[in-house]
Chain A
Amino acid sequence: MKEWHSMTIAVLVGLTVRWAVSLNSYSGAGKPPMFGDYEAQRHWQEITLNLPVQEWYFNSSDNNLQYWGLDYPPLTAYHSLLCAYVAEFINPDWVALHTSRGYESDHHKLFMRSTVFIADLMIYIPAVVLYCCYLKETSPRKKIANAFCILLYPGLLLIDYGHFQYNCVSLGLTLWGVLGLSYDWDILGSLAFCLALNYKQMELYHSLPFFCFLLGKCLKKDLKGKGLLLLIKLITTVVAAFALCWLPFFTQLEQTMQVLRRLFPVGRGLFEDKVANFWCSLNVLLKIKSLLSPHTQLMFSFALTFLSLLPACLKLTLQPSLRGFKYALVSCALSFFLFSFQVHEKSILLVSLPVCLILNEVPFMSIWFLLVSTFSMLPLLLKDQLALASVGTTLGFGVACASSFSIFENISEEELQLRSFSVYVRRHIPGFKVPAKMLKTWFLVSVTMMSLLTLTSITVEPPHKLPDLFPVLVCLVSCLHFLLFLIYFNVIILWDHRNGRSQKKIN
């Protein structure tokens, strides 16, 4: 079969599953007075359409910030405005000021779902296809398998098309950024990433690797000549992109400050709900939220995040390589997710995207991670009545991955990218071997545990005294996985000698 036929089929399957998921319920369906993220997005359309730009981020009689006030950067607001124009054209009731609050109907749902579908089709999916088509040192078959699995990743699918959000836009733009950097189109890449950052402030999780990689590139090119030129070009691009996005809010200082306050709500506490990160899991044993003052919490989380980021970022700045860049994206995003302040369960998608990018390098570990990441959002998905859709798409993803990457056949040091690490350890502990066989057992145990927990969460009522038993268990299990994954990815980054000077040492 021709390559592009197979690619078309992969994309079509992805689209079909997306739309099938979108027929399901969404977050906060029929749950007044606050509803959910679906209503938030609709409300933003209402606000951006009916109020002047200056009032978008301010509390007023027309804009109650307590009720889903706009708390994303300007690009999201512009996107909402664009959707609002279309909505107003179709049915003005959908975006009427005040009266449209909590508006729900089959037609409106269809409209909202198609806005996500179109955004996905225009930004995320082309980026994935292009990324996979230009993978180096990969057979055509593998490229298609790669694209197929990335497109079927259930986490993003369920959050965007079930729960309802536009993660495909911010993640897609980041992917365009990665694509740009891969082809040495640094200006375009950084432009795409700036747009992503202006769409969702959570993209800051990815910003450090981008920064370090580009800085490292400039340093490598000699900072006095070509490197300086590149640096100036990059700075100009970033400043221009930000200026353009924030133009309406630069008129007054108060405007800018208000937007920033809305974007970074430091007052909201260390974490909300049940998140599979370090703090929430620690909270089960130790009530840190009540033990420490909010300020200390902030300091602690900042310090820990910084420390866990540092090795990967330093390494990337000193030895910038595309491969290291991808791994650094994973490790930094994971550090942010585990240790930073005010993390949402959905933020795990920011880690999943770079993990998808290394799917062809370490298939076994990536697939494991992607399964765990979907599982970590289980409490949220169950709340949105997406149980059937989650189980269905996860099974489909599992089958697709298992048939396209023979994951069990090659779990070796080489395949896990741990060769240089074990060589290093062997110098100190002779006879050290990466427990590849044991990893397989662990994987099976972990998958069994996750399926059992999913099954019980769906079918069994929790005991009266512990109403949050299952969500807490889900968080603990996923958090434990994520911590181990963080160590694993950092090991790969630190012992990566492929592009470094130490290449000679091994030889």
Chain B
Amino acid sequence: MTCVCSCSPGTAQESRGGPGAGAAEPFSDGAEPSYSTDFEVHRNWLAITHSLPVSRWYYEATSEWTLDYPPFFAWFEYTLSHIAKVFDPEMLNIQNLNYASPRTVLFQRFSVIFTDVLFIYSVYECCKCIEGKKAGKELTEKPTFILSVLLLWNFGLLIVDHIHFQYNGFLFGLMLLSVARLFQKRHLEGAFLFAILLHFKHIYLYVAPAYGIYLLRSYCFTADKPDGSVTWSSFSFLRLIALGFIVCFVSALSLGPFIAMNQLPQVISRLFPFKRGLCHAYWAPNFWALYNALDKMLCIIGLKYNLLDPKKIAKASMTSGLVQQFQHVVLPSVTPLATLICTVIAMLPSIFCLWFKPQGPRGFLRCLIVCALSSFMFGWHVHEKAILLAILPMSLLSVGKPQDAAIYLLLTTTGHYSLFPLLFTAPEFPIKVLLMLLFTVYSFSSLKTLFRKEKLLNWMETIYLVGLGPLEICCELVFPFTPWKLKYPFIPLFLTSVYCAAGITYAWFRLSVSMLPGPAVSKAKLQ
């Protein structure tokens, strides 16, 4: 076990150095100021936290990339900025928009690589507490080894963090660590870690329901009836108070200063910008992408058969499909509240299962993934990167049961492919294709070896996944050379988004069904 984790982090760290070192280059070229907005976003936050007093952090708006993460992340940037000073003090100047000197790039890249140490440690902890299928004597065929590679070499995390630029590594590290703690029955520690995580990046609110229900049901209630239902009398107030104290303490630490300065509404308005629109510039492959596509199709059909009045349709919605505000023409427009209701409805069944049929930490993990995926499917202004929130925890389940492995393969392959538009420059094209192939070949071959006897994917799923290849060729190799490129520049993104949305919806559906302890399953077993 130690051998596994001491060898794979080494190689993973190395691989991070590789693409990171390579991707650092286009910045220093100077031809394009910066191609990843997130790189500039984080540089700007370094500058804000370093040169302004805390009271100005959430008001500063020189750059359009204002601070929109919770206070802990701001403090994290503040800490980093003190090291950044040594590398290049110029990057800490708020007025220096799009500043990307070679030293700045070096510092930023290395900060991501070093904070990944936490991620590596959590993977090690997770491997210890996941007992997968017993198989194979050889090291490379053990579930723990496979799991550590699947997590450490995760294609999505690699490109989002080390090429595109974000700090997801250590944040996912915190999440996996808290999951590992819950597996190890160290509930308070797990809750504490998750509370901290929430104040680093509030996107993790997606999975908060799973945490809340699980801790309440399986920690605050100390005993179950034999049939698994709640024993109301076993409720422990002490435990609830301990949990409440932890959450309040962390929140006070994070938000306290801003409440004291009477800035809470401002902070909240920065954290939840509902003005942004239903979908991101590139539609994340979720339910709303399908909804938009349906609307578009109905619109075109309507126009063709003169069912719609062309004058009534705003011109913008016809010519470019991917503006920030998408105008629905036929179907009703969607409000933030509607998305919230949809999300809650999508989560409910799994939450109910977690409450009425608790299956220990594994059930919690499954519920957590369903929550993450449901939020991704129906959330307001979801980024395509949010799919990682489901993919990474899903890796833990994938080495356990063949059904989960099948869902995992569908979800990761589709989800990872949907991240392709993040890297759009020509020199990055071979990198993303090679890395994706690398990860996909590994995940398929290792999981197929692990579950030798079972058939993982049926013919329909296989055809769907194989279809990603031609799709990529059409979108990135053929389309740019066709005359449609100028007239309909959004078609590749549109196709990618809709195609992936179909796959992810399917994976979400299969996962939600797997959560339900259906009688059909037990009957099948009896037969």
Contact = CB atoms under 8 A, between A and B. Distances in A.
Interface string A373-401: 00000000000000011001101100110
Given A2-B445, A23-B25, A399-B11, A110 B426 contact: yes
5 contacts: A12-B441, A17-B18, A19-B22, A20-B21, A21-B22
Nearest to A391: B17
Contacts of A396: 11, 14-15, 17-18
A104 B130 CA distance: 53
Nearest to B7: A403
Interface size class of B (residues with CB under 8 A): 20 to 34
A392 B427 CA distance: 19
A438 interface: no
A8 B441 contact: yes
A392 B18 contact: yes
A6 B438 CA distance: 10
Interface string B24-48: 1110010100000000000000000
Contacts of B15: 16, 396
Given A9-B441, A12-B438, A24-B25, A110 B431 contact: no
Contact of A25 (B11, B18, B25, B438): B25
A396 B140 CA distance: 19
A5 interface: yes
A451 to B, nearest CB: 16
Given A21-B22, A392-B21, A12 B31 contact: no
A285 interface: no
Contacts, number: 87
Contacts of B238: none
B258 interface: no
A393 B21 CA distance: 10
Given A1-B141, A9-B442, A15-B434, A106 B21 contact: no
A239 interface: no
A15 B438 CA distance: 10
A389 B438 contact: no
B336 to A, nearest CB: 41
A400 B446 CA distance: 19
A488 interface: no
A400 B140 CA distance: 15
Contacts of A35: none
Contacts of B23: 23
B435 A16 contact: yes
A303 interface: no
B297 interface: no
B480 interface: no
A17 to B, nearest CB: 6
Most buried by A among B7, B14, B446: B14
B140 A1 contact: yes
Contacts of B17: 388, 392, 395-396
B400 interface: no
B223 to A, nearest CB: 45
Contacts of A20: 18-19, 21-22, 431
B516 interface: no
B292 to A, nearest CB: 34
Contacts of B437: 12
A2 B26 CA distance: 38
Contacts of A1: 140-141, 445-446, 449
Nearest to A387: B21
Nearest to B106: A388
B21 to A, nearest CB: 5
Nearest to B445: A5
A105 B430 CA distance: 19
A72 interface: no
Contact of B427 (A12, A16, A23, A400): A23
A392 B11 CA distance: 11
Contact of B434 (A6, A16, A21): A16
Given A1-B446, A9-B442, A389 B21 contact: yes
Instruction: Give the 9 A-B CB pairs with smallest separation, nearest first.
Output: A23-B22, A5-B445, A20-B22, A396-B14, A392-B17, A12-B438, A16-B434, A20-B18, A19-B430
Nearest to A392: B17
B31 A403 contact: no
Interface string A389-423: 10011011001100100000000000000000000
Contacts of A110: 426-427
A393 B15 CA distance: 9
Contacts of A2: 445, 449
A9 B11 CA distance: 14
A23 B434 CA distance: 14
Contact of B18 (A8, A107, A393): A393
Interface residues of A, number: 32
A396 B7 CA distance: 12
Nearest to B10: A399
A107 B427 CA distance: 9
Nearest to B18: A20
A385 B430 CA distance: 22
Interface string A1-44: 11001101100110111011111110000000000000000000
B431 A19 contact: yes
Nearest to A16: B434
Interface string A98-125: 0000000011001001000100000000
B27 to A, nearest CB: 11
Contact of A400 (B11, B25, B426, B449): B11
A315 B23 CA distance: 50
B167 to A, nearest CB: 21
Contacts of A13: 438
Given A1-B449, A24-B25, 10 more contacts: A1-B445, A8-B441, A9-B438, A9-B445, A12-B441, A20-B21, A22-B22, A24-B21, A389-B22, A395-B17
A117 B429 CA distance: 13
Interface in B430-485: 430-431, 434-435, 437-438, 441-442, 445-446, 449
A9 B446 CA distance: 11
Given A19-B22, A19-B434, A5 B14 contact: no
Contacts of B10: 399, 403
B430 A117 contact: yes
A106 B29 contact: yes
B329 to A, nearest CB: 40
Contacts of A19: 22, 430-431, 434
Interface string B138-168: 0011000000000000000000000000000
B489 to A, nearest CB: 20
Interface in B413-427: 426-427
Interface in B211-234: none
Contacts of B21: 20, 24, 388-389, 392
Contacts of A106: 29, 31, 427
Nearest to B136: A1
Most buried by A among B19, B23, B140, B449: B19
A5 B430 CA distance: 20
Nearest to A6: B445
Most buried by B among A20, A106, A393, A399: A20
Contact of A16 (B26, B106, B431): B431
A330 B236 CA distance: 75
B103 to A, nearest CB: 12
Nearest to B24: A388
Given A16-B438, A20-B18, A23-B23, A403 B11 contact: yes
Contacts of A5: 441-442, 445
Contact of B14 (A8, A24, A25, A399): A399
A346 to B, nearest CB: 22
A8 B430 CA distance: 16
Given A19-B434, A24-B21, A395 B449 contact: no
Contacts of B430: 15, 19, 117
Contacts of A16: 15, 18-19, 431, 434-435, 438
Most buried by A among B19, B26, B430, B435: B430
Most buried by B among A1, A5, A22, A113: A1
